[in-house]
Homo-oligomer: A and B are copies of this chain.
Amino acid sequence: MSDKKKFAVILSGCGVSDGAEIHEAVMTLYAIAKHGATYDIFAPNIKQHHVINHLDGSVMNETRNVLIESARIARGNIKPLNEFNPSLFDALIFPGGFGVAKNLSTWAFDGPNCTVNPQVEGAIRAMHKLHKPIGGLCISPVLFAKVLGNVTVTIGRDASTAQAIENLGAKHLQAGHAQVVVDEKNMLFTTPCYMLDANIVDISNGAKAIVSEILKWI
């Protein structure tokens, strides 16, 4: 059995506006492998909330599936989220993108009153109960605030999102690029990435920082 640390990465589709943010997803996978750890990729087998034309921002008259589209980023090497077994992993991590707020939850539409996909909620609760690290890039930390409540996270500096998080009983700390907010009690690790003005180097730096920090705690 390998003694490499193993991450579960949960994707929410393929594309910033209706799925997983691609740069954040790829840079998360890269950071994990670069640090000598391994990963399995998961996504819920559900319909996307909608399909956005990423050229002009319009809603397309199509339906797509979160697992099937996430498989594009995973090159087919992906499992449905209902097969996630928390005992097999050392850490769980969520790249960002609107898919987190539209497919994994309804945050984009309902804010603090959102619902969270039951499999996503189950994965977060299970890892939290085992006191294993859970990482969130970009908008993903709203999932942790919604599911766990009294936690400390960052989504960068956006005041209205920060307020919405605090309305859930969580604490929001401001952070810049490649800064990782660590909630030691809850083993939560969060960093802003594209929630701030960012270029692709910022995203790589953020992904490396959060993965590196998580590995210190495993």
Q: Residues of A at under 8 Å CB distance from B?
A: 14-17, 19, 21-23, 26-27, 29-30, 33-34, 53-55, 57, 62, 67-69, 71-76, 78, 199-201, 204
Interface contact A34-B201, CB-CB below 8 Å:
yes
The docked-state distance in angstroms from the alpha carbon of A110 to that of B19 is 34
CB A154 to nearest CB in B, in angstroms, measures 22
Choose one: B16, B33, B34, B72; the contact of A54 (CB below 8 Å): B72
- List B contacts of A16 (CB < 8 A): 72, 75
Interface contact B68-A34, CB-CB below 8 Å:
no
- List B contacts of A19 (CB < 8 A): 72
Interface contact B71-A55, CB-CB below 8 Å:
yes
The docked-state distance in angstroms from the alpha carbon of A200 to that of B34 is 8
Interface contact B71-A30, CB-CB below 8 Å:
no
The docked-state distance in angstroms from the alpha carbon of A196 to that of B78 is 21
Interface contact A22-B15, CB-CB below 8 Å:
no
The docked-state distance in angstroms from the alpha carbon of A71 to that of B52 is 11
- Known contacts A15-B72, A30-B201; 6 additional CB pairs below 8 A are A14-B14, A16-B75, A17-B76, A22-B72, A26-B200, A34-B201
- List 5 tightest A-B contacts by C-beta distance, closest first: A15-B72, A54-B71, A26-B26, A55-B71, A54-B72
Q: Say yes or no: A78-B62 contact (C-beta < 8 A), given A14-B72, A200-B26.
A: no
Query: What residue in chain B is nearest A80 (Cβ atoms)?
Result: B55
The docked-state distance in angstroms from the alpha carbon of A200 to that of B207 is 14
